Structure 1
Amino acid sequence: MSNQQKNMAVPRPGTAMESGASYWLSEGWVFRELGGSEWLPAVVPGNNYSDLFRAKAIPDPFYREHENKVQWVAERDWEYKLGFTAGPDLLAHQCQLLDFHGLDTYASVWLNGRHLLDSQNMFLRHQVDVSGWLQPGSNELRIVFRSPLKEVRGRAAAAGLVYPAGNDHSEEKLSVFSRKAPYHYGWDWGPRFVTSGIWRGVQLLGYSCVRIQHQDLSTLELLPQGGRVLASLELEVAEPGEYLVRLDIGQGQWAFDFPISCEKGTQHFSFELELPGAAYWWPKGYGEARLYEVEWRVAGSTGATFAAARSRFGMRTARLIRKPDEHGRSFYFEINGQPVFALGANYIPQDSFLDQAGPERYRQCFDDMEAAHFNMVRIWGGGIYEEGLFYDLADERGIMVWQDFMFACTMYPGDEAFLDNVAKEAVYNIKRLKAHPSVVLWCGNNEIGVGWEHWGWQETYGYSPVQCEQLKADYDRLFHGLLPELVAGHAPGIDYLPSSPMIDYSEISRYADGDVHYWGVWHEEAPFETYQDAVPRFMSEYGFQSFPLLESVKRYTSPEDWGLESPVMQLHQKHPRGNGIIRKYLMEAYAPPQSFEAFLYLSQVLQAEGIRMAIEAHRAAKPFCMGTLYWQLNDCWPVASWSGIDYYGRWKALHYHVRQAYQPVIGVLDVRRAVWKAVFIKDEAGDQQVTARLGLYSIAGKRHWMAEHRLRVGPEANTVWEVPELQQESEGLEKGQRFVRLEVLREGTVVYDRIIWLDKPKELQLRPPEVLWRLEQGEGHLTATLSSSNLVKNLYVQLEGVEANASDNFFDLFPGEEKTIRWALRAGETPGQLTWLSVFEACQKNESA
């Protein structure tokens, strides 16, 4: 047995494993530029950029200005090759199959010199019967990837118009012609790396008699105890005959046998089941995300198992409720008949080079979401249909998934060849994700509907009336015809939304009718305070940029780049006005930052406090508003962006602030009305009795007024406490010297603690911090206990030599109180010096800082 075969013998969970043969073709690949002489080692799954970087044929594409130096890669064709052994265990089966889980994008495949397939869709899986094609012993698999740019230039020229793909970072708008991740062509937060390669694994399968091609359970109806379920099974039958389907759910809790009669070829079967006593799957905060193990077997007349597969099942119903009410038309998710307030963010791919995002990064991503109390994440339509692991983790953590189809911010072709390609992509991914209880919505596209109606593409690109009519007809065929029909046919229990948002943010009079992407803050440079009034039924995008902190900036720059106007910092800012917008808002709110490092830090504080204002407005408006998904959770490379977590996994101030703003029980102080009021919000299931405490303080920590109020909070409606006394007392304090502390206590324990500033940061008369700390190291962790005699605003604490995020950061440190934070220590880490930064040092020349 060759070394390649030893390394590729890894069974694939969820497919036939017992009587079939299954090998991953993952070791021994080589690649070269097509026509070149030198073969270089390749990693599969992977891509040409990553392989070239590992071979030291290109510099690090993320470092400094190297993005510009590697654009030639996308213009070339590339060839990948693997020699492998087909052993007797594989060839002994009736059938052999090559399974390409993902080819990016324009690929031609040959096996032993015979043409096997052509691919032109990154989002498709290709399974090819190679029975009779394999040779005993040595075989060769060869794949040629054609340049995604050269491949479509002819189509673009023949189109007779330029598509409005403004995020395609090239004068040629080519991305719309390829079914490939749109963000690879650039975005206003991402670089342009138009990759090619074997981006998902290649598998060699052998089977006899029958193979399970697809299986899933879906909920038909919830019953008072348990529910009715539809079991769907797709088989590839090599040997016609009588078989027995054996289904085990919940490790023996429910078992079923179904005799079937099969003809040769693809066969579909479905069975209605009842699962008495089955628990429901619930999103985070509303109950347990209960999953049941499911085992599928197909046996012959003698009882021998010919095929087996494993999956999981979560019993739940999911609906997007769009019904008229006294305000307009609702927009909220109902899970198992229970309205759910959605808390989360928009997610983009974790890396420009997808092979770099391994299982540990996916798990960390979900740890970060769970830590911040997410119950929903939106997979945005300019990226990819995610790895199976993503949806598995969402199922386990109780995080609902709003799933976009991969179309964003431009019109698309509507010819038959394009639509046929999309239909195959859609069917494959709808079926692939159907069994995941976390997936609660399919959405046709990101922002194309409002783009066509409100962004002036018709004038900007000079479309004629005939072209406008054709573009709109193509849009309707795809998003109002093809995709909803495919969702209804292949996943009838999931709702479909043609486009998000339904309403442009300029249409304020329509906010009562659907979801909005609010970009008045940022694009229109409206003040953060407009968030408090721009509240729709569901806010599916809004955001503000910040920079990574200096520790991260150091990883992709040199010291001579440390200035906003440096070419490197400008290259790592993809919004054309981005740095200027951040500077404008920052200078309106804060005194001038005293250094480059201070500017980076203040940009994060600015972002965090602005987005928090929006979150509180959305939650306080429940049940009128029933969801808040900010833009964006993560980054795909090191950049100034709207993310709450930078490319290196460091939590920005935003993620810390979101974690508190998304807590199960929060309080919001509304000081804009004639009578001040505190609004108390609880989204999770069940009512609770809590104590609300409000205190008015001067900046030195002296308390001038305090009151407590017992109240009941629950998910049905928010609870309001009017506080005119607080309003009156605050007017007697000097501006810049006052703040409010809002606490929520449950059974005597503080569960929410927030300092609310009544004046702008630049008006605050902050005193020099006198931060004291003590460090204590335990097994696998280190804690710092901090205190100060003066109030410290947005204290950021860093521990040199430690990669983990602190348990809390960017917090206000109350005078005279201790605050303990914790870091997890990785093996081999030696903690160094503790350093800190606050608003006072960032905005003042302080010789002692």
Structure 2
Amino acid sequence: MIEAQVSGGYRQALHDGWTLRAATGPQVPAGIADRAVPATVPGCVHTDLLAAGLIDDPYLDDNETGLTWIGRTDWVYETGFHWDGGATDRVDLVCAGLDTVATLTLNGTEIGRTENMHRGYRFDVRSLLRPGGNTLRVRFDSAYTYAEAHRDRLGDRPNAYPEPFHFIRKMACNFGWDWGPTVVTAGIWQEIGLHGWNVARLATVRPVVTVADGTGRVDVHVEIERDTDGPVTVRAEVAGGVVTATIPAGARSTVLTCTVAEPRLWWPHGYGEQARYPLTVTLTDETGGELDTWSRQIGFRSVRLDTTPDAHGSAFTLVVNDLPIFVRGVNWIPDDAFPTRITRDRLAARFAQAVGANINLLRVWGGGRYESEDFYDLADSLGLLVQQDFLFACAAYPEEEPFASEVAAEATEQVVRLASHPSLVLWTGNNENIWGFHDWDWQEPLAGRTWGRGYYLDVLPRIVGELDPTRPYWPGSPWSGQEGVHPNDPAHGTMHIWDVWNDDDYTKYRAYLPRFVAEFGYQAPPAYATLRRSISDDPLAPDSPGMAHHQKAIDGDRKLQRGLDAHLPVPADFDEWHYLTQLNQARAIALGVEHFRSHRPICMGTIVWQLNDCWPVTSWSAIDGDGRRKPLWYALRRSYADRLLTVQPRDGGLALVAVNDSGQPWRAPATVTRLTLAGEPRAGTTLELDVPAYSSVVLALPAELAGPDEPRRELLVAEAGDPAGRALWFFAEDSEIEYPPAGYDTVVEEVDGGQRVHVTARTVLRDLTLYPDRLDPDATVDDALLTVLPGESVTFTVRSPRPLDATALTTRPVLRTVN
């Protein structure tokens, strides 16, 4: 089919008629070894075999373990297509993404080889095409065979997992991670097709967008590829203004400068509008005939990092349009281990969840991919800031060939591709590799071999500096700004906090005063409906076979148990374990976020690990692998609110901290009361909040509030009206508090599209949570983790495609509370 046609050119997608077959591999099952399978392009081997009913779903139970042979097999994709002879002098086969080690042949003649999933490729095939029928064949060699051969040739290098992912330019988490399955893919994972053209085409268009003193400027850097040597004209149009330039015979590039007076600025979510302007670039020949065109939406905004030294070390503050931004972020991993299953609608749903939790930044983690155009377009439209890692994670990477050239080519292509997006505010050189070199016992086994330093401190900053000069680059996450300072020093740059999850209680977050926390996280299982869909264990138990397989973290269950032991009653059964581990995750991250935010402006950002999952798994995510919100999501929504009221330990006592990330002053009376669990007041005070925009205030609480008479029977309640809500402080752990058995009354009301569940407390109800997915996997609820005092009422709104049983909706295990 012809997708698009311009004067003298055309596009013909080649997405139909593909078949897939195994080429080699002694472990290939008999029913697959000699069989041609219909293939979907874009797609991959796993999804094609699954669609054909030839493998079990690798996301269910422990099916993943029986499918490792797929990654050790060579595969061949083949299709036939019609070509009408064309009227263009050049015809290129354009491959946006091949995964990964591919040999391409057209009508029996080899046209090229590739070995990088993160690049596109283009081959001149005009001389090989035949009018009528043509055959295109793409053979994918095993990623394992390729990676292990380079490992053996160059010498092994340390990494976090026993897989050779650092010896191939491929999505690292395909080889498994502590939250992901090992599904080593192969396939045509992005668009493929023919591009016919005459005279010249637009090879790259790179707009450099700046704004200063009320004037927007777009320097449009254009490079062309030629088939003939005559002059051509480039035309750029933005905001009604048009600029043209002639590229003379023999030349291949030009720069067009467009100015826009008083452009509307693009702002992050919550700070202003996301104004964007269409930019169109057109290439024409000497007669004015259109040869090629390119179009994007751009935004005018400035971005910089403030790393000024100060009394606390050195800052790490993201500044957009000259306004310091407190980053309320989450880490983003690929939303599916098979990227072609990630649709724009799915991304839009995930982004809506992010915005709904008051998140303003997504960090695209370095073991996944350079994210898609849909991802960045949605981020641009919603005002979600994006930090994009270059793709290096948790390993010492070789800098020899072919990797040095591949990395430079990949980085160049991706920087040019993404530079036009206003949401992209920071490039990061790697995830944890500089830290790993310092602290993970790498130096002795490396024995002087390369490990990636040259990429992070030379190659990548040079490419970003040349091609994307308006956007900051930071060599690593974590990184402290210079090699003479430990890369994870909390006083400088960014840091990761993982000793809490690995070794310590989550209250240790309060021991840190970082400038910016780029990773910290705490685990919990996914939603119950997600577990029941993906795991067939009967009965479910924390250590039943399917649960154990879907826990990829080293000693993960032991660490979950350590957290329960420190804070919560002993679970009586699996249902209680499920609720309490999810609760503990939410409390751990809320404690960390609120502590870090309470130290604004010393700390100016938190990026929670992690927003999402790529399959059903016990992990650090707020949204599970089936897209369901864990209780952590609701906790993030409160802890990341524009206005946060929180009780914090300070100087041996307690303080009320009011954080205002809105653009308006926050002036309100705040009441703080020490109550018994029965709701009887023991002491109280009223404080006047006067918090300027984008700042925080700390108000010490008097001793009669901070010191309880009976720690196991009392709590503090602080309130300052909506939208800040209520802050609580308990003086003892739940396992020690003398709670009464939960007493409450319920009324269930039918409403359009669902039900309202009204709960009136007769006793204190700690962290009241409703799990409607236990009754219907499509049911959702609007709130969670509500602590209700005696005499108070709360309402949950449940959305469900069918009415849910009112009795089941208001009793355990659907309605849960700590007591």
Q: TM-score normalised to the size of structure 2?
A: 0.93
Matched with 1:175 is 165
In structure 2, the partner of 1:588 is 566
Q: Secondary structure at the match of 2:500?
A: coil
- Distance of 2:595 and 2:768 partners within structure 1: 25
Aligned letter for 1:32? R
1:155-234 correspondence to structure 2 within 5 Å:
155-160=150-155, 162-168=156-162, 173-223=163-213, 225-234=214-223
- 8 Å contact from structure 1 (residues 666, 744) kept in 2: no
Residue number among 55, 59, 63 corresponding to 1:58 in the alignment: 55
CA distance in 1, matches of 2:164, 2:777: 43
After TM superposition, give the deviation of residue 706 of structure 1 in Å. Answer: 4.0
The equivalent residue for 1:792 is 765
Match in the other structure for 1:480: 457
C-alpha separation in 1, matches of 2:144 and 2:752: 53
Answer with 359-368 or 563-572: which moved more: 563-572
Match of 1:434 in 2: 419
Aligned to 2:409: 424
SS for the counterpart of 1:762 is: coil
CA distance in 1, matches of 2:461, 2:36: 46
Question: What residue is the counterpart of 1:752 in the other structure?
Answer: 725
Please list the CA deviations of residues 639-686 of structure 1 after superposition, one character each: whole Å capped at 9, or x if unmatched: 111111110111111111011000001112123434432111112334
Structure 1 residue 546: Cα displacement: 1.0
User: How much does 1:499 deviate?
Assistant: 1.4
Partner of 2:392: 407
Range moving further from structure 2, 336-345 or 670-679: 670-679
In structure 1, what residue type is equivalent to 2:302? T
Residue 165 of structure 1 and its aligned partner are, at CA, apart by 1.7
SS of alignment partner, residue 470 of structure 1: coil
Cα distance change of structure 1 residues 498 and 133 upon mapping to structure 2, 3 Å threshold: same
Cα distance change on mapping 1:80 and 1:762 into 2, 3 Å: same
Distance 2:335 2:36 in 1: 29
Residue equivalent to 2:591: 613
Match of 1:320 in 2: 305
Query: Structure 1 residue 659 and structure 2 residue 637: aligned?
Result: yes
Superposition deviation, residue 549 in structure 1:
3.3
Answering whether residue 498 of structure 2 is matched by residue 519 of structure 1, we say yes
Give the superposition deviation at 1:118. Answer: 0.5
Residues 137 and 778 of structure 1: CA distance in aligned 2, closer, same or farther (over 3 Å)? farther
Which residue is 2:270 aligned to? 285
User: For residues 17 and 688 of structure 1, what CA distance do their matches in structure 2 show?
Assistant: 56
1:32–1:836 Cα change, 3 Å: farther
Give the residue type in structure 2 aligned to 1:153: E
2:20 maps to amino acid: F
Deviations 1:151-176 (A, max 9, x none): 2333222334x3212224xxxx4221
Which consecutive unaligned segments of at least 5 residues does structure 2 have?
Answer: 25-32
Contact 2:366 2:389 survives alignment (8 Å): yes
CA distance in 2, matches of 1:780, 1:304: 55
Note if contact 1:786-1:819 (Cα within 8 Å) is conserved in structure 2. Answer: yes
Amino acid at match of 2:17: G
- Displacement of 1:20 in angstroms is 3.4
The normalised TM-score by structure 1 is: 0.90
Q: What do the CA deviations read for 1:215-243 (whole angstroms, capped 9, x no partner)?
A: 243223412x2322212223333344444
Aligned-partner Cα distance in 2 for 1:688–1:87: 68
**What do residues 509-541 of structure 1 show as CA deviations (whole Å, max 9, x unaligned)?**
942122110112012x22222111212111111
Deviation at 1:609, TM superposition (A): 0.5
- Partners of 1:643 and 1:82 lie apart in 2 by 40
Q: Which amino acid aligns with 1:512?
A: A
- 1:752–1:238 CA distance, 2 compared to 1 (3 A): farther
Aligned partners of 1:296 and 1:309 also within 8 Å: yes
Q: 1:346 aligns with which of 288, 306, 331?
A: 331
- Residue pair 1:375, 1:400 contacting (<8 A) in 2 also: yes
8 Å Cα contact 1:345/1:377 also seen in 2 = yes
Residue of structure 1 aligned with 2:224, choices 229, 235, 243: 235
**Distance in 2 between residues matched to 1:469 and 1:255, nearest whole Å:** 55
Partner of 1:497: 474
- Name the amino acid aligned to 1:347: W
- CA–CA distance in 2 between the matches of 1:137 and 1:508? 60
Q: Is the 8 A contact 2:210 2:300 kept in 1?
A: no
User: 1:387 offset after TM fit, Å?
Assistant: 1.2
Distance 2:692 2:812 in 1: 38
Q: Which digits, 9 at most, give the CA deviation of each residue in 1:467-520, with x for residues without a partner?
A: 53233xx5332221211111111111122211111259x979942122110112
Q: 2 CA distance for matches of 1:741 and 1:37?
A: 69
- 1:69: how far off? 0.7
Query: Is the deviation greater in 681-690 or in 598-607?
Result: 681-690
Question: In structure 2, how many angstroms separate the alpha carbons of the residues matched to 1:147 and 1:348?
Answer: 24
Partner residue, 1:728 = 704
Q: Which residue of 1 aligns with 2:29?
A: none
1:336-393: CA deviations, max 9, x gaps?
2211111111111111122222222111110111011111111111111111111111
Question: 420-429 or 833-842, which moves further after superposition?
Answer: 833-842
Residues 30 and 330 (structure 1 numbering): CA distance in 2 closer, same or farther, change over 3 Å?
same
Say which SS state the counterpart of residue 196 (structure 2) adopts. strand
> Separation in 2 of the partners of 1:834 and 1:391?
40
Q: In structure 1, what is the Cα distance between the partners aligned to 2:458 and 2:488?
A: 29
Contact 1:18 1:308 in 2 (8 A): no
Could you tell me whether the CA contact under 8 Å between 1:594 and 1:842 is conserved in 2? no
Partner of residue 118, structure 1: 113
Aligned partners of 1:582 and 1:603 also within 8 Å: yes
Q: CA deviation at 1:711?
A: 2.5
**1:780-816 C-alpha deviation (Å, 9 max, x unpaired):** 4543333322222122213332525322122223433
Secondary structure in 2 aligned to 1:218? strand
- How far apart in 2 are the matches of 1:424 and 1:120? 12
Secondary structure class of the residue paired with 2:781: coil
Query: What's the offset of the Cα at 1:750?
Result: 4.2
Asked if 2 retains the 8 angstrom alpha-carbon contact of 1:378 and 1:402, the reply is: yes
Aligned counterparts of 2:97 and 2:701: Cα–Cα separation in 1: 59
SS of the equivalent of 2:585 reads helix
Alignment of 1:138 onto 2:133 = yes
Please, what is the CA RMSD of the aligned residues? 2.5
Shift of residue 17, structure 1, vs aligned partner: 5.5
Q: What amino acid maps onto 2:558 in structure 1?
A: G
Spell out, residue by residue over 1:759-800, the C-alpha distance to the aligned partner (whole angstroms, 9 max, x if none). 211122223334444444444454333332222212221333
Mapped partners of 2:706, 2:645: distance in 1: 19
SS of residue matched to 1:718:
strand
Say which is worse superposed, 695-704 or 95-104, in terms of deviation: 695-704
- Give the drift of 1:561: 5.6
1:260 aligned onto 2:265: no
Q: 1:77·1:145 contact (CA, 8 Å) conserved in 2?
A: yes
Q: Deviations over 1:27-52 (max 9, x none)?
A: 22110111643211111111111111
2:236 partner amino acid: L
Alignment CA distance shift 1:256-1:582 (3 Å): same
Residues 434 and 491, structure 1, Cα contact 8 Å, conserved in 2: yes
Distance 1:48 1:729 in 2: 63
Assess, with a 3 A threshold, how the Cα gap between structure 1 residues 76 and 744 changes in structure 2: closer, same or farther.
Answer: same
User: Alignment partner for residue 86 of structure 1, among 83, 87, 98?
Assistant: 83
* 1:361–1:18 distance in 2 versus 1, CA, 3 Å: farther
- For residues 198 and 804 of structure 1, do their structure 2 counterparts lie closer, same or farther at Cα, with a shift above 3 Å needed? farther
What do the CA deviations read for 1:570-612 (whole angstroms, capped 9, x no partner)?
2211112110111011012111001112111111111111111
What is aligned with 2:361? 376
After TM superposition, list the pairs within 5 Å mapping 1:697-712 onto structure 2: 697-712=675-690
Alignment CA distance shift 1:728-1:157 (3 Å)? same
* Closer/same/farther in 2, CA of residues 831 and 239 from structure 1, 3 Å limit: farther
CA distance 1:841–1:319, shift in 2 (3 Å): closer
SS in 2 for 1:235: strand
Decide which of 32, 41, 44 is 2:21's aligned counterpart.
32
Identity across the alignment (%): 30
**Mapping for residues 658-697 of structure 1, pairs under 5 Å:** 658-697=636-675
- Partner secondary structure for residue 627 of structure 2: coil
1:190 to partner: Cα distance: 1.5
Residue identity matched to 1:635: D
